[in-house]
Amino acid sequence: MTHGATTSRSRPHVVLGVSGGIAAYKACELLRRLTESGHDVTVVPTASALEFVGAPTWAALSGRPVATDVWTDVHQVPHVRIGQSADLVVVAPATADLLAKAAHGLADDLLTNTLLTARCPVVFAPAMHTEMWEHPATQANVATLRERGSHVVEPAEGRLTGADSGKGRLPEPGEIYAVAVDLLARRTARTRDLSGRRVVVSAGGTREYLDPVRFLGNRSSGRQGFALARTAAARGAEVTLVAANVGLADPAGVKVVHVETTEELQREVIAASSGADAVVMAAAPADFRPRTESGSKIKKSGDGTTPTIELAETPDILAGLVRDRDARGDAQVVVGFAAETGDDNGSVLDHARAKLARKGCDLLVVNDVGGGAVFGSPDNEAVVLSAGGEAVPVPRGSKESLAHVVWDQVAALLDVPLGQAPS
């Protein structure tokens, strides 16, 4: 019997499980994103979930009947067929009770039966109070599910029920959606090849202040760095993301450190990279900073004269990471990014190859940013250069697609013993 249904359907079939937590209302937004992007979604709420959001809401948003118990349409054997036909199961929110049942193989309702029969990727998005998340029983259940191949995203930190705040908040629907789409795109590939690896990613653009209200900066949105962090987590890595001045929701399952200046970025990346298997510098640090920062807002003179701003170079974070790695003599993989434009002195790739040699990193991801391309866009195209001289062009596509190409090459380098060249 073939359990996957994509051979007979043009649209991926997603089962959205909803357990009984106050965050159940957020699953409505996740459902909307899935259906509007062309996915065929069956909603399977628990009885407790229906106390928060009723079946008519799920039916209206999904355009399909809602499966609520094992006794409805018994002749279709829903407790078996729903899981068998799924290309992906997402449980959001996943309560402590639901995680415990899934870890121990209990099947006392339609959702837990579906989890036992599914042979596709399964994503759990936990939501509960901090004390419940941190309890040893919950942590043991999460560890068990991850060992079996399920994707349990880390809960977010923030406001919980009532006045409480802490870790346990349901990740934003957009982040859960991104994890789901990524897993569907890679369901036939090795999705956990970074398990057991620690990686550091930087993202965004740094700011160097002229005065309390003005700064030197750049147009980096941080989207590519966030895509790298998100896809690394989906492939099993423990990820630290150092984010500079971004307006994006924190990726699910990723530790995020927020910074502003190049000096702060350097300090946090160095701290996070200690013992890491790979560091990917996707951030765009400012190359210069004002030599002095005014303690008050710089005013217009009124006589037509303008102030002179003396600049100083900021630290070269990428080159410093390579020097530190080489001094230690370990096998850490270091990846840089280069936003380049061609000029009279050479093409984009000419400048990029010179930068790769100058920095000494293992891989350099090159973007042609002539005319402002790439910045803020959901898409990207690039060429990935390696220290061995290879050039891998990546055609225009999602930033997640480019991220996977980068991680494919990082994973290949991590598999090579120290001192040997990859075949």
Q: What CATH number is attached to the domain comprising 32?
A: 3.40.50.1950
218 is known as an active-site residue: yes
Q: Same domain, yes or no, for 213 and 357?
A: yes
192 part of a folded domain: no
419 part of a folded domain: no
Q: Same domain, yes or no, for 58 and 205?
A: no
Q: Same domain, yes or no, for 27 and 69?
A: yes
- Tell me what pLDDT residue 423 has: 44
145 part of a folded domain: yes
Answer yes or no: is pLDDT of 136 > 60.
Answer: yes
* Mean pLDDT of the chain, nearest integer: 87
Q: Is the separation of the CB atoms in 420 and 331 below 8 Å?
A: no
Instruction: Evaluate the omega torsion of the peptide bond into residue 93 and state whether it is cis, within 30 degrees of 0.
Output: yes
**Among the listed ranges 62-66, 182-186, 246-250, 293-297, which one has the minimum average pLDDT value?**
182-186
110 part of a folded domain: yes
- 275-305 pLDDT tens trace: 999 999 999 999 999 999 999 998 888 888 8
Position with higher pLDDT, 221 vs 81: 221
The domain boundary, picked from 153, 185, 217, lies at: 185
- Torsion angle, CA of 51/64/15/7, rounded to 10 degrees? 170
- Tell me what pLDDT residue 225 has: 95
85 part of a folded domain: yes
Answer yes or no: is pLDDT of 331 > 80.
Answer: yes
Answer yes or no: is pLDDT of 362 > 60.
Answer: yes
Q: Write down the catalytic residue from 141, 218, 245, 380.
A: 218
Answer yes or no: is pLDDT of 316 > 80.
Answer: yes
**DSSP 8-state secondary structure symbol assigned to residue 75:** G
Answer yes or no: is pLDDT of 2 > 70.
Answer: no
| Chain position carrying tokens 């590939």 | 189
The domain boundary, picked from 185, 215, 239, lies at: 185
Q: Is the separation of the CB atoms in 19 and 94 below 8 Å?
A: yes
- Tell me what pLDDT residue 185 has: 77
- Tell me what pLDDT residue 227 has: 92
Strands 363-368 vs 333-340: parallel, antiparallel or unpaired? parallel
Reading phi first (left if > 0) and then psi (alpha if -120 to 50, else beta), residue 271 is in alpha
Answer yes or no: is pLDDT of 359 > 70.
Answer: yes
This prediction's pTM:
0.72
- Tell me what pLDDT residue 374 has: 55
Q: Same domain, yes or no, for 213 and 299?
A: yes
- 4-13 pLDDT tens trace: 444 335 688 9
Gap between the terminal Cα atoms of the chain: 39
Q: Which domain holds residue 410?
A: 198-414
CB atoms within 10 A of CB 100: 15
The CA distance from 179 to 36, in Å, is 16
Mean pLDDT of 219-242: 91
Report residue 108 as tokens: 């006392």
Confidence grade of residue 363 (pLDDT, cut at 50, 70, 90): very high
- Tell me what pLDDT residue 127 has: 94
Q: Same domain, yes or no, for 406 and 327?
A: yes
Mean pLDDT of 399-409: 92
- Tell me what pLDDT residue 34 has: 95
Confidence grade of residue 73 (pLDDT, cut at 50, 70, 90): low
The CA distance from 242 to 283, in Å, is 9
Answer yes or no: is pLDDT of 109 > 70.
Answer: yes
Beta bridge partners of 40: 13
